[in-house]
């Protein structure tokens, strides 16, 4: 438990060479060509928090790579999509002009329902077509405590970035909920991609990648990066190559958090969890009349 505000309306809080100012309604999102969705909903514009381990946990759906298709792509989106394309297409360093994307593309899930792919990506002249899902992070526990800390900073006359980034002990990240919400999307959209002759790419923040790895036996997955893969999980982490500077925390594709494998292997691993536990069906049982009976 315990997090601190890492980014406030696209401004990193962990340096003091500038002073972050409170945002007002109508402010633009630093990561897409539209207004800040959190401010529009009446929330403080916290883009991400930092865990006590130092890792970022993205708390805004638009921070990693927004999917809103009614506006032009923002330079941040172009940069992130280029990094992902460099990772999934071989050879690396793909020309931006060769990468084509659709946003919020409908995928037929059943006769009565559609899902939307965050992105569909293709490269000119390449046969591999990609359905891409973005899940940088998710919700936090103790969100009210985080908001309280931000309001304390906002209402302090001599406010400073130090106050904004103070540890909020009662708050934490909830990787479990983020993955639970994503599983149905992952399964359905991955299957649609397979049936349509494509592959699925799941782009996640580093903490969520680590959570998945801790829950599944990663060693069972064949590494197929330079072969015929149908599933890629791409971890995104903070880029610490340069000295921290004013603006957002730079992100990168984390080469230590990448898996290219077969979609069916991963799907089987998701459903084939648990061990036989016959003892659960023997022992003392409580009868509904209040007595205890032993079942052998």
pLDDT tens, per residue, the chain with 296 residues:
799 999 999 999 999 999 999 999 999 999 999 999 999 999 999 999 999 999 999 999 999 999 999 999 999 999 999 999 999 997 678 888 999 999 999 998 877 778 999 999 999 988 889 999 999 999 999 999 999 999 999 999 999 999 999 999 999 999 999 998 888 888 999 999 999 999 999 999 999 999 999 998 898 899 999 899 999 999 999 999 999 999 999 999 999 999 999 999 998 888 888 889 999 999 999 999 999 999 99
- Range 72-139+174-270: architecture per CATH: 3-Layer(aba) Sandwich (3.40)
Position 155 scores a pLDDT of 95
Output the pLDDT for position 114. 87
Angle at 72 between CA 66 and CA 77, to 5 degrees: 40
Q: Residue 116 forms beta bridges with which residues?
A: 106
Check residue 146 and give its pLDDT.
Answer: 97
Which pLDDT score, from 0 to 100, does residue 77 have?
Answer: 98
Q: What is the pTM of this model?
A: 0.92
Query: Long-range CB contacts (< 8 A, 24+ apart) of 120-124?
Result: 120/198, 121/81, 121/84, 121/85, 121/201, 123/85, 123/89, 123/94, 123/98, 123/99, 124/97, 124/98, 124/99, 124/100
What pLDDT is attached to residue 182? 85
User: What are the domain boundaries of the chain?
Assistant: 1-63+140-172, 72-139+174-270
Residue 111 confidence (pLDDT): 72
pLDDT at 4: 97
């Amino acid at each position: 438990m315990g997090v601190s505000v890492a980014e406030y309306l696209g401004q990193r809080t962990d340096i003091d060479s500038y002073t972050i100012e409170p945002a007002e309604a109508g402010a633009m999102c630093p990561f897409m060509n539209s207004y800040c969705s959190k401010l529009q909903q009446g929330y403080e514009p916290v883009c991400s928090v930092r865990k006590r381990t130092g890792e970022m946990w993205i708390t805004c759906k638009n921070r990693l790579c927004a999917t809103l298709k009614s506006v032009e792509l923002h330079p941040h989106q172009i940069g992130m999509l280029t990094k992902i394309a460099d990772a999934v297409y071989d050879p690396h360093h793909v020309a931006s002009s060769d990468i084509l994307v659709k946003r919020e593309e409908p995928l037929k899930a059943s006769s009565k329902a559609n899902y939307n792919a965050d992105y569909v990506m293709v490269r000119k002249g390449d046969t591999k077509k990609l359905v891409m899902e973005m899940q940088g992070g998710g919700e936090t526990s103790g969100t009210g405590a985080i908001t309280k800390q931000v309001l304390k900073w906002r209402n302090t006359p001599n406010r400073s970035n130090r106050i904004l980034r103070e540890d909020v002990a009662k708050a934490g990240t909830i990787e479990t909920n983020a993955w639970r919400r994503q599983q149905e999307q992952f399964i359905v959209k991955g299957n649609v991609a397979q049936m349509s002759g494509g592959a699925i790419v799941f782009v996640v923040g580093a903490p969520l990648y680590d959570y998945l790895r801790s829950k599944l036996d990663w060693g069972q997955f064949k590494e197929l990066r330079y072969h015929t893969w149908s599933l890629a999980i791409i971890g995104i982490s903070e880029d610490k190559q340069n000295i921290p500077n004013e603006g957002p925390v730079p992100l990168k594709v984390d080469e230590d958090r990448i898996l290219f494998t077969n979609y069916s292997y991963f799907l089987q691993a998701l459903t084939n969890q648990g061990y036989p536990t016959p003892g659960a069906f023997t022992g003392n049982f409580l009868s509904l009349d209040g007595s205890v009976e032993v079942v052998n």
